Structure 1
Amino acid sequence: MDEDVSGRPGPGGDGPPGLPWWILEQLPVPVVFFDRRARLVSANDATLESVAMKSEQLLGLRPGEVEPGVVIRGAEGLEAAVEEVIASGEGRSYETLIRPDVGREGVWTAVISPVKDGSGHVHGCSVVTLDTTEQYRARARMTVLNEASLRIGSTLDVGRTAEELAEMATGTFADLVTVDLLAPVLAGDEPGAPEPGTTIVFHRVAQHSVLEGCPESVLPVGAQHTFARESAMGHVLVQGEAARFTVDEEALRLWEPADPERVRSIREHGIHSSVVAPLTARQITLGVAVFSRHRTPDPFDDDDVLLAGELAARAAVAVDNARRYTREHATALALQRSLLPRRTARQQAVEVASRYVPNTAGAGIGGDWFDVIALSGARVALVVGDVVGHGVQASATMGRLRTAVRTLADVDLAPDELLTQLDDLVLKLDREESVDPAGGSSVAGATCLYAVYDPVSGRCTMARAGHPEPVLVRPDGSAAHVPLPGGPPLGVGGVPFEAAEFDLPERSILALYTDGLIEAPGRDIDAALAVLRDTLTCPTGSLEDTCDAVMTALLPERPGDDIALLLARAGRLDADHHVSWDLPADPSVVSRARKHVAAELERWGLDDVVFTTEVVVSELVTNAIRYGGAPIRLRLIRDTSLICEVSDGSSTAPHLRRARTFDEGGRGLLLVASLTECWGTRYGPTGKTIWAEQALPGA
Structure 2
Amino acid sequence: MGVPAETPGRHWKTDAPARPVPREVDLAILDALFTQSPIGVAVFDTQLRLVRANPALERMHGVPNAELLGHRLGEVLPGLDVAEIEGRLARVLETGLSVVGTEHRGRTPADPSRDHVWMTSSFALTGQDGRRLGVTDLVMDVTDRHRARERLALLDEASARIGTTLDVRRTAQELADVLVPGLADLASIDLLDGVVAGEEATPSDAGRRTLRLVARKACHPGLTEELRLVGELQEFPPDSPHAQTLSDGQPRLLPAVGPDVSWVRNSLDPRTQALLTHGTHSMMVVPLCARDILLGVAHLYRTAACPDAFEPDDLVFVQELVARAAVCVDNARRYTHERAAAVTLQQGMLPRSVPDQSAVEVAHQYRPAHAHAGGSGCWSDVIPLSGARVALAVGDIPATGVEAVACIGQICSAVRTLAQLDLAPDEVLARLDDMVPRLVEREHTAGSAAILEKLVGATCLYAVYDPVSRRCVMASASHPPPVVADPAGQVHFADLPSNEPLGLGDPVFEPREIELAEGSTLVLYGQSLLAARHADRALHEQLCALIAQSRLSPNDIGQAVADAVAPHLAAEDDLALLLARTRSLDAAHVATWDLPSDPAAVAGTRSLAARRLDQWGLSHLTFTTELIVSELVTNAIRYGAPPIRLRLILDQMLICEVSDAGSTSPHIRRAATVDEGGRGLFLVAECSHRWGTRYDAAGKTIWAEQLLTDSAPRSMQP
Match of 2:252 in 1: 243
The one-character-per-residue Cα deviations of 1:393-439 (angstroms, maximum 9, x if unpaired) are 23322221121111111111112222221211123223334554523
Gap change, CA 1:500 and 1:209, over 3 Å in 2: closer
Give the letter for the 1:351 counterpart.
E
Give the letter for the 2:527 counterpart.
D
CA–CA distance in 2 between the matches of 1:538 and 1:225?
51
Match of 2:716 in 1: none
Give the letter for the 2:521 counterpart.
I
Of residues 180, 183, 187 in structure 1, which corresponds to 2:190?
180
CA–CA distance in 1 between the matches of 2:427 and 2:175?
60
Equivalence map 1:64-75=2 (5 Å): 64-66=73-75, 72-75=79-82
Q: CA RMSD in A?
A: 3.4
Partner secondary structure for residue 468 of structure 1? coil
Partner secondary structure for residue 567 of structure 1? strand
- Are 1:87 and 2:94 counterparts? yes
Match of 1:402 in 2: 412
The one-character-per-residue Cα deviations of 1:145-200 (angstroms, maximum 9, x if unpaired) are 2222222222211112222222321232122322222232123222222399x544
8 Å CA contact retained: 1:237, 1:278: yes
Match of 1:12 in 2: none
The one-character-per-residue Cα deviations of 1:303-353 (angstroms, maximum 9, x if unpaired) are 111111012102101101110110111111112112211122222212233
Give the letter for the 1:508 counterpart.
S
The one-character-per-residue Cα deviations of 1:477-497 (angstroms, maximum 9, x if unpaired) are 333333334432222225423
8 Å CA contact retained: 1:204, 1:220: no
Match of 2:327 in 1: 317
Partner secondary structure for residue 277 of structure 1? strand
- Are 1:518 and 2:551 counterparts? no
Match of 1:10 in 2: none
8 Å CA contact retained: 2:460, 2:477: yes
Match of 2:431 in 1: 421
Gap change, CA 1:195 and 1:478, over 3 Å in 2: closer
8 Å CA contact retained: 1:460, 1:504: yes
Match of 1:438 in 2: 449
- Are 1:544 and 2:551 counterparts? no
The one-character-per-residue Cα deviations of 1:70-124 (angstroms, maximum 9, x if unpaired) are 9544322111100111122222244323236797353233332222345765421
Tell me which moved more, 622-631 or 331-340.
622-631
Equivalence map 1:67-146=2 (5 Å): 72-92=79-99, 93-99=101-107, 104=112, 105-107=114-116, 108-117=118-127, 121-146=131-156
8 Å CA contact retained: 1:273, 1:293: yes
8 Å CA contact retained: 2:362, 2:578: yes
The one-character-per-residue Cα deviations of 1:240-276 (angstroms, maximum 9, x if unpaired) are 4433234467982256546465664565444333222
8 Å CA contact retained: 1:66, 1:72: no
Give the letter for the 1:542 counterpart.
S
Partner secondary structure for residue 410 of structure 2? helix
Tell me which moved more, 119-128 or 182-191.
119-128
TM-fit CA distance, 1:141 = 2.3
Match of 1:633 in 2: 645
CA–CA distance in 2 between the matches of 1:281 and 1:499?
56
CA–CA distance in 2 between the matches of 1:476 and 1:450?
25
Gap change, CA 1:689 and 1:424, over 3 Å in 2: same
Of residues 269, 287, 290 in structure 2, which corresponds to 1:281?
290
CA–CA distance in 1 between the matches of 2:64 and 2:372?
72
Q: Report the count of equivalent residues.
A: 679
CA–CA distance in 1 between the matches of 2:591 and 2:432?
35
Gap change, CA 1:175 and 1:580, over 3 Å in 2: same
CA–CA distance in 2 between the matches of 1:486 and 1:392?
28
8 Å CA contact retained: 1:74, 1:99: no
Equivalence map 1:259-408=2 (5 Å): 259=268, 264-265=273-274, 267-295=276-304, 296-408=306-418
Match of 2:9 in 1: none
Gap change, CA 1:596 and 1:659, over 3 Å in 2: same
Gap change, CA 1:170 and 1:527, over 3 Å in 2: closer
Match of 1:505 in 2: 517
Give the letter for the 1:586 counterpart.
D
8 Å CA contact retained: 2:655, 2:703: yes
Give the letter for the 1:675 counterpart.
C
Tell me which moved more, 92-101 or 487-496.
92-101
CA–CA distance in 1 between the matches of 2:540 and 2:328?
43
Of residues 488, 502, 523 in structure 1, which corresponds to 2:500?
488
Equivalence map 1:128-277=2 (5 Å): 128-194=138-204, 199-211=208-220, 212-214=222-224, 220-225=230-235, 232-233=241-242, 235-237=244-246, 239-247=248-256, 252-254=261-263, 256-257=265-266, 259=268, 264-265=273-274, 267-277=276-286
Tell me which moved more, 405-414 or 344-353.
344-353
Gap change, CA 1:85 and 1:629, over 3 Å in 2: same
Partner secondary structure for residue 76 of structure 1? helix
Tell me which moved more, 140-149 or 373-382.
140-149
8 Å CA contact retained: 1:339, 1:399: yes
Match of 2:13 in 1: none
Equivalence map 1:576-595=2 (5 Å): 576-595=588-607
8 Å CA contact retained: 2:39, 2:57: yes
Unaligned runs of 5+ in 2: 1-22, 712-718
TM-fit CA distance, 1:615 = 2.6
Gap change, CA 1:676 and 1:442, over 3 Å in 2: same
Partner secondary structure for residue 544 of structure 1? helix
The one-character-per-residue Cα deviations of 1:503-551 (angstroms, maximum 9, x if unpaired) are 2222223333333222259838x99877765654466623334334544
Gap change, CA 1:547 and 1:559, over 3 Å in 2: farther
- Are 1:660 and 2:672 counterparts? yes
- % identical aligned pairs: 44
CA–CA distance in 2 between the matches of 1:47 and 1:498?
94
Match of 2:695 in 1: 683
Q: TM-score, normalised by structure 1?
A: 0.87
8 Å CA contact retained: 1:78, 1:94: no
Of residues 24, 37, 47 in structure 1, which corresponds to 2:34?
24
Gap change, CA 1:679 and 1:195, over 3 Å in 2: closer
Give the letter for the 1:509 counterpart.
T
CA–CA distance in 2 between the matches of 1:543 and 1:579?
30
Higher helix share: 2
Partner secondary structure for residue 290 of structure 1? strand
The one-character-per-residue Cα deviations of 1:35-59 (angstroms, maximum 9, x if unpaired) are 2343333334555566566666544
Gap change, CA 1:686 and 1:195, over 3 Å in 2: closer
Gap change, CA 1:338 and 1:531, over 3 Å in 2: same
CA–CA distance in 2 between the matches of 1:58 and 1:120?
28
Partner secondary structure for residue 558 of structure 2? helix
Unaligned runs of 5+ in 1: 1-6, 8-15
Give the letter for the 1:687 counterpart.
G
CA–CA distance in 2 between the matches of 1:287 and 1:651?
69
Of residues 642, 646, 651 in structure 1, which corresponds to 2:663?
651
Give the letter for the 1:91 counterpart.
S
Gap change, CA 1:237 and 1:569, over 3 Å in 2: closer
Match of 1:13 in 2: none
CA–CA distance in 1 between the matches of 2:153 and 2:281?
25
Gap change, CA 1:100 and 1:51, over 3 Å in 2: closer
Partner secondary structure for residue 224 of structure 2? coil
